Amino acid sequence: MKTETDLTQLEARAISKRYGTQRVLDHLDLALNGGEVTCLLGPNGAGKTTLLRVLSGLQRSQTGELLLDGARLDFHQPDARRQFGLVMHQPFLYEHLTGPENLRFYARLYQAELPEAQLRQLLTRVGLGKTRPVPVRSYSRGMKQRLTIARALLHNPRILLLDEPYTGLDQQGCQLLNSLIGEEQANGRVILATTHELNHARQIASLFAVLTRGKIAALIPNVGLSLDDIQLRYQQITQPESVAAA
């Protein structure tokens, strides 16, 4: 496990993002620390996915900056994107390739070595170690999600951004994912996950960040909170938006 002085920090400062006349993120500030799991909560359409896309360099913000360990993050630098492991709504898998072939392809894109022993270990970690070598198009939704998680981990990223990672997973898959997140947290990763699955998230979250009206409205440490506690705090923070939309 890394020491506190070695831990990565990703910081967003004054991030704004518009789509036409709609402002989704409004001078948003957020600091994410290695060794912590931050679960991002917010109403549908609040901008959670947009924030993850901006943090990872998939989209550019109109204002603000991103800092990695205190230095401005420049996605024009070839090494910048390799700092991130992403699980987004779209799995971004090649349907005509097998699971191992997908991972080998992405390993080449990331310029990461992926020996066969490491490939087998990674597939076993996500519960696909005994899967037959068939095209991904024949995978179930849950199997595709497991493979997507493996793809996010294969190049040993410092930062994991997970957008609704429990999607398609059964109870066993959710437990396996939480175990993986716990292992990556112990390795000092920065982990940010959006989810509506509060019961699963409560088991692994260090804190909850509530995104509403374009800003992080609250940071709630996950200390002694029951599921009812989290839901009540969330409703109290987001209620004004709900009333205004009614």
What span, in angstroms and rounded, lies between the C-alpha atoms of 177 and 19?
Answer: 33
> What are the residues whose beta carbons fall under 8 Å from the beta carbon of 90, sequence distance 6 or more?
none
pLDDT at 113: 87
Give the Cα separation of 50 and 46 in Å (integer): 9
Residue 240: predicted pLDDT? 62
Distance CA 179, CA 18 (A): 36
> pLDDT 10s per residue in the chain (246 long)?
555 557 899 999 999 999 998 999 999 999 999 999 999 999 999 999 999 999 999 999 999 999 999 999 999 887 898 999 999 988 899 999 999 999 999 999 998 989 999 999 999 999 999 999 999 999 999 999 999 999 999 999 999 999 999 999 999 999 999 999 999 999 999 999 999 889 999 999 999 999 999 999 999 999 999 999 999 999 999 986 444 443
- How far apart are the C-alpha atoms of 108 and 132, rounded to whole Å? 23
Q: List C-alpha distances in Å: 214 to 19, 22, 51, 92, 194.
A: 13, 10, 10, 27, 15
Are the CB atoms for 29 and 12 separated by under 8 Å?
yes
Question: Do the Cβ atoms of 69 and 9 come closer than 8 Å?
Answer: yes
Tell me the chain's radius of gyration from C-alpha atoms. Answer: 18
Enumerate the domain spans of the chain.
4-94+158-245
3-state DSSP call for residue 58? coil
pLDDT of residue 245: 41
* CA-based nearest residue to 85, from 32, 26, 145, 148: 148
**Residue 33 DSSP label:** E
Number of helical H runs and strand E runs in the chain: 7, 10
How confident is the model at residue 78, as a pLDDT? 78
The pLDDT value recorded for residue 198 is 92
Superfamily (CATH) of domain 4-94+158-245: P-loop containing nucleotide triphosphate hydrolases (3.40.50.300)
Q: What is the residue type of 48?
A: K
- For residues 30 and 215, the answer to whether their CB atoms sit within 8 Å is no
Tell which phi-psi region holds residue 156, choosing left (phi > 0), alpha (psi between -120 and 50) or beta: left
Instruction: Say which residue the tokens 């009333």 belong to.
Output: 243
